[in-house]
A and B are shown apart, each in its own frame.
Chain A
Amino acid sequence: MALRIAVCVKQVPDPDAPASTFKVDEAAKRVVAPPGTPPVVNGFDLHATEAALRIKDAHGGAAEISVVSIGPAFTMDVIKKPLSMGSDMLVLVEDPVLAELQAFATVRVLAAALKKAGAFDLILCGRQASDWDNAHVPLGLAEALQVPCVTLARRVEVVAAGARVRVERSLSDGYQVVEASLPAVVSVSNELGEPRYPTLRGIMAATRKQPIKMALAELGITPADLAPALRLERLYVPERQRAVELIKGEDEADSGRKLAVRLREAKLI
């Protein structure tokens, strides 16, 4: 029987947009999307997609990968990227009320969408979303589904004839090998290695694929499920312009020499 893998992905503002374009609307307590820079699929979620594709490759293609995303409004070319990398299906829950959801609410909706989409053997997430940098959803999802959770994966393998997952998880000074029975939630980190580029064929196939859309009502979600757990009181850009002392010599090498002298003077080296 083919493995069923879900990959949870989030559409986020591009974190590589130039720092000068980053703006906050303090009154609305929102980040203003930089004009002209399209959103992206959260980077770590592409690593999660890559992990799913590697498992599929390792099983001779005997796996079906469903990409699941919830959000207020999707840019179709963007959210289809995991499809063009080789995933099989796209499940979307799109509703304006899903803007700036906190973890409890995201988990509530995501868990309902996953349950409706099918019985998954393995649910892969990114380690954290690059907008609010929470790293809560994979852990919360595992609690909601009452399944094991292994975080910060740099390698994910399905072993024991599809019954268990074996994960190498990154530590600050090495790694751990952890095993759990399936179904399980695994969060994936960039140590996994670069996500593959979409092929032309993949892009063509993704263009033809229609996303499966689920409405909040069919998922049994009420407004109370979406209420924030924490009140965002203030959102602001920190002040950090410092006066830098630029060391300038006769040429670049001389600047290097003078830098050493200056740092010694300042008793820093």
Chain B
Amino acid sequence: MAGILVVGEVSGEALNPVTGELLSAASKLGDAPISVALMGDSLAGASEAALDHGVAKVLAIEHAALKNAGAGGYDAAVIALTALVKQEAPDVVLFARTDLGYNVAPRVAFRLQVPVAQDCVDLKTDGGNLVVTRPVFGGNAMADYVFGEKRPAIAIIRPKVFQARPPAGARTGETVRPGIDIASDQIRATLVETVKEARHGVRLETAEVVVSGGRGLGGAEPFKLLEELAGLLNGAVGASRAACDAGWVDHSKQIGLTGKSIGPKVYIAVGISGASQHMAGCSGARAIVAINKDPAANIFKEARFGVVGDWQKVVPAFLAAVRELGRA
């Protein structure tokens, strides 16, 4: 392998931890030199943090149009990375399946007419070619794909699958600022505004305990009980898509293939059948606990602990016992 280009991510001015996950993924591909590309309007801090990972080179593309990597339409990021990949000619380019990777990687691949694989959960090289594994059909099946001769091979890695690599300590590389032109008439879509939801309580993405509800809850009201339980366990509330689509909880709570990917210590699923598309978001949990009245529900195939029963009877008693244990 001649070289691997990792497309790092920046939050504010800091290096986003998903970059460490990509570096772990990259190190599975042998000893090829790893460069990290960063995009933003102010990259000094993030570049330093990336160098701490012991990478060969940080390619910092600073440009006003790359504020938040050009979020919204992402045209600036597509232009910048297409130019960078042409300059650097890496063998492999790794993105994370974040909003950035999801929007930018396929477009760069189409501009360069090189293959791209989405949502990869494993990767390796075989005879110099990249091989990736990705869930397909909602996670009901897995597919191994081999990239051919065309370079680079572009892979988009599912977050929370690889453990973020800690900074190596030894710095060997340096930051390079490639001169890349982003013509304003090439920017096609404009961001008008970003509206972030007010957050209260524990963050779903990093919670140790997640209590999740599905269609089996039957309405918005029962989610209050789950909130109470999550509060007692210092956790957060999640939901299945069915519960979000029904309007019982906000879509930002959706766990799954097209929602959030989480990896808590315990995932308590109440009234959730365990469709593969849902499990795609919580299979990183250390233990899944299922409360479902249907003993044949798929969730029991993936759970470590389970109660077959009606949540209306099980959950209030569970909650009371948790409260008791808390006092003990």
Which residues of A are in contact with B by a Cβ distance under 8 Å? 13, 15, 19, 22, 24, 31, 103-104, 107, 127-128, 130-136, 139-140, 142-144, 147-151, 154, 166, 169-181, 184, 189-191, 194, 229-238, 240-242, 244-248, 251-257, 259-264, 266, 268-269
Q: Given contacts A233-B144, A235-B142, is CB(A245)–CB(B119) below 8 Å?
A: no
Q: Given contacts A230-B145, A240-B302, A244-B301, is CB(A149)–CB(B317) below 8 Å?
A: no
Query: B190 near A247 (CB under 8 angstroms)?
Result: no
Query: A178 near B73 (CB under 8 angstroms)?
Result: yes
- In the complex, A18→B307 CA distance in Å? 22
Stretch at the interface among B38-46, B167-175, B258-266: B258-266
Give 6 closest A-B pairs by Cβ, nearest first.
Answer: A256-B317, A148-B188, A260-B321, A252-B313, A256-B318, A252-B309
Partner of B303 from A103, A148, A175, A244 at Cβ < 8 Å: A244
Determine if B54 is an interface residue (Cβ-Cβ < 8 Å): no
The closest CB in chain B to the CB of A242 belongs to: B302
Which residues of B are in contact with A by a Cβ distance under 8 Å? 71-73, 75, 99, 102-103, 106-107, 110-111, 113-119, 131, 135-148, 150, 188-197, 199, 205, 209, 233, 241, 245, 251-252, 257-258, 260, 265-266, 275-277, 286-287, 289-291, 298, 300-310, 313-322, 324-325
Query: B276 near A19 (CB under 8 angstroms)?
Result: yes
The closest CB in chain A to the CB of B102 belongs to: A135
- In the complex, A147→B137 CA distance in Å? 29
Q: Given contacts A176-B191, A179-B190, A256-B316, is CB(A139)–CB(B300) below 8 Å?
A: no
Query: B115 near A139 (CB under 8 angstroms)?
Result: no
What's the A-B contact tally at a CB cutoff of 8 Å?
A: 255
Interface class of chain A by DSSP: mixed
The closest CB in chain B to the CB of A243 belongs to: B304
A19-B275, A256-B315 are known contacts; what are 11 more A-B pairs with Cβ within 8 Å?
A: A19-B276, A173-B197, A178-B191, A179-B189, A244-B306, A252-B314, A259-B318, A260-B321, A268-B265, A268-B266, A269-B322
Residues on the B chain within 8 Å of A260, using CB: 318, 321-322, 324-325
- In the complex, A215→B232 CA distance in Å? 62
Partner of B110 from A140, A189, A247, A263 at Cβ < 8 Å: A140
- In the complex, A254→B141 CA distance in Å? 38
Query: A269 near B266 (CB under 8 angstroms)?
Result: yes
Residues on the A chain within 8 Å of B266, using CB: 263, 268-269
Query: B141 near A238 (CB under 8 angstroms)?
Result: yes
